[in-house]
Amino acid sequence: MSKLKHTVKEVLALADIKVGGDRRWDVHVHNDEFYRRAVSDGSLGLGESYMDGWWDVECLDEFIFRLIRANLHEKVSKLKLLPVVKATVLNLQSKSRAFEVGQAHYDLGNDLFEQMLDARMVYSCGYWREAANLDEAQEAKLDLVCRKVGLRAGMRVLDIGCGWGGFAKYAAERYGVEVVGITISKQQADFAKRLCWDLPIEIRLQDFRNLDEQFDRIISLGMFEHVGHKNHRRYMQVARHCLREDGLFLLQCIGDNVTTVATDPWISKYIFPNGDLASAAQITRAIEGLFIVEDLHNFGADYDKTLMAWFANFDQGWHQLKAQYGERFYRMWKYYLLSCAGLFRARHIQLWQIVLSPRGQIGGYVRVC
């Protein structure tokens, strides 16, 4: 064990992290088995040992930021072969599996997400350019989306991955459009139906592959991460089939800097089953011959602020949730939110808004941000 301990300390020192140090990103180990687990199980062991209370750090987000910024994930990678083989051979996001992430994540409980998210219940990156708080950042994002696709009264809009109905409600109220929203989460669908009952909005519990109708505009905010590389092309074909010739499609998604076929094993096991972040190369291959890229906007640094705001809300309201969810869930959810904040802060992953058109806008697309 002493040799493992020494090795882990040396590796952490490459990121200017000390075991037992007094800085906010230094690690405090409570169980020496942490060293074996971190080495043998990589990111899965790191996350699980945190959930088990084997180690702590004052600022988990800053700890992860330093690990990633120092490229320690590349220098001491412990990624097992099995996740790669599974993702390559199997379609982990097939129709039969499409609802798994809804049941495992989005159906955890509306009480959890109501406590964590903004007043509109928007579960995707906010736009913080002129925002002072989470509510303002999410409203700014929603309005930015509406302006980017040129919403006008009377248009029919498809919202793929509508969540709890935040975008649909905003677009219908502010821009006078009709919206069809689809989700793979029963709790989201039930909530959104109640939220939007008096507006020209239809909420469906439906997989995107079952869509077969026409829309003036298509929006998808934070859903593409669940589509999977084996289904990227099918997703774009469905979107193209459903979009009118003069329409626009705005895709907002988390993007990976490199092309991979397997997600982080801890995230996949505990947070987003079958998740799969697309690279820019994968997206462009999927849209080739179907869409023209009119605009690409990266504001990934804003996800750091969004995740930190979500954690602050979650942490502040934990006393209302702890009886139902328990202490291990608290550590798991904290690790999820703050480690992701660190990843975005290190620019290891990105947040893209991509505006697509079927044939290109005559005269060119006018950017609004």
Three-state SS for 297? strand
Q: In sequence order, which ranges of 54-213 are alpha helices (DSSP H)? A: 60-69, 72-75, 81-89, 100-101, 110-116, 134-148, 166-175, 186-195
Query: Helices 280-287 and 232-242 meet at what angle, rounded to 10?
Result: 50
And the tokens for 253? 């998604």
CB 353 within 8 A of CB 145: yes
Active site residue 340: yes
Nearest to 13 by CA among 56, 79, 66: 66
Which structure tokens are listed for 92?
Answer: 């982990």
CA distances for 168 relative to 36, 120, 141, 236, 267, angstroms: 48, 10, 13, 21, 28
Going by the DSSP 8-state scheme, the letter that residue 318 receives in this structure is: G
Determine the distance from the C-alpha atom of residue 19 to the mean position of all C-alpha atoms in its chain, rounded to a whole number. Answer: 31
* Separation of alpha carbons 346 and 198, rounded Å: 43
DSSP 272: -
Show Cβ contacts of residue 367 under 8 Å, excluding neighbours closer than 6 positions: 148, 295, 297
Marked catalytic residue, from 146, 253, 340, 369? 340
Neighbours of 150 (CB within 10 A): 17
Q: Are 47 and 263 in contact (CB under 8 A)?
A: no
**Measured distance CA(7)–CA(97) in Å, rounded:** 40
Of all helices (H) and strands (E), which one includes residue 10?
helix 2-13
* 205 residue type, one letter: L
The catalytic residue positions are 340
